[in-house]
């Protein structure tokens, strides 16, 4: 009986997710917060804390664009950016999601004030909760480090919007 109840509950959860139109339900504007650790390539290979906060817009085709800020306990490898520096960035990429509400997002970032995106691509695994209208994420690839961060995204609105992250250094 217990196994039968567990099987029914599992089917019920999957039916909630499979009833969700894949990318269409993610369409909109989201706020995200990331927290974790990173192990920079080419450095001392010591884990360092990293945080991030930003906004992302997702359209019906699964294209994502946005802006954010991150701070790391170590500098960015291959750049003159020191540890603890506030780093503003723009990003763009894509979202893929399956009927069971799991998926990935892939994106590249461009640091504010630089002419081109950083080389390489970030990849995060995601799980969408239609009941809570929340996306949970976990980093699995970073071009600059071994990523060890998790994130939570909450919907700000159902319509994709052009996003502009204010310059944090403008008031200095």
Report pTM. 0.80
Q: Which residue has the tokens 């039968």?
A: 4
How many other C-beta atoms can be found within 10 angstroms of the C-beta atom of residue 100? 14
Q: Is the pLDDT of residue 44 over 80?
A: no
- Is the confidence at residue 54, as pLDDT, over 90? yes
Q: Where are the beta strands (DSSP E) in the chain?
A: 28-40, 48-58, 63-72, 87-97, 102-111, 122-129, 134-141, 145-157
Cα-atom radius of gyration of the chain, to the nearest Å? Answer: 18
CATH architecture label of 2-157: Beta Barrel (2.40)
Q: Which of 16-25, 33-42, 67-76, 159-168 has the lowest mean pLDDT?
A: 16-25
Tens digit of each residue's pLDDT (9 = 90 or more) over 55-96? 999 998 999 999 999 998 887 766 778 888 888 999 999 999
35-47 average pLDDT score = 78
Quick one: DSSP state of residue 21? -
Task: Report the b/e string of 48-59 with b at 16+ CB within 10 A.
Answer: bebebebbbbbb
| Integer Cα distance of 123 and 148 in angstroms | 12
Instruction: Kindly indicate the confidence band of residue 1, based on its pLDDT and cuts at 50, 70 and 90.
Output: low
- Portion of the chain with pLDDT greater than 70, in percent: 78
- Predicted confidence at residue 52, as pLDDT, reads 94
Q: Determine the pLDDT at residue 168.
A: 60
Residue 115 CA to residue 107 CA, distance in Å, equals 17
Band of residue 39 on the pLDDT scale cut at 50, 70, 90: confident
**pLDDT tens string 146-171:** 888 999 999 999 888 777 666 666 55
């Amino acid at each position: 009986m217990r196994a039968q109840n567990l099987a029914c509950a599992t089917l019920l959860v999957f039916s909630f997710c499979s009833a969700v139109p894949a990318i269409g339900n993610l369409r909109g504007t989201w706020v995200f917060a990331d927290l974790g650790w990173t192990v920079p390539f080419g450095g001392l290979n010591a884990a360092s804390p990293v945080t991030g906060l930003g906004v992302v817009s997702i359209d019906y085709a699964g294209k994502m664009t946005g802006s954010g800020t991150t701070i790391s306990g170590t500098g960015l490898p291959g750049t003159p950016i020191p540890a603890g520096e506030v780093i503003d960035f723009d990003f763009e990429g894509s979202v893929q999601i399956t009927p069971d509400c799991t998926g990935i997002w892939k994106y590249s970032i461009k640091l504010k004030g630089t002419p081109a995106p950083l080389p390489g691509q970030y990849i995060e695994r995601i799980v969408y909760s239609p009941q809570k209208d929340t996306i949970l994420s976990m980093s699995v690839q970073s071009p600059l480090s071994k990523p060890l961060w998790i994130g939570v995204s909450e919907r700000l609105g159902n319509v994709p919007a052009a996003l502009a992250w204010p310059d944090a250094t403008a008031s200095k």
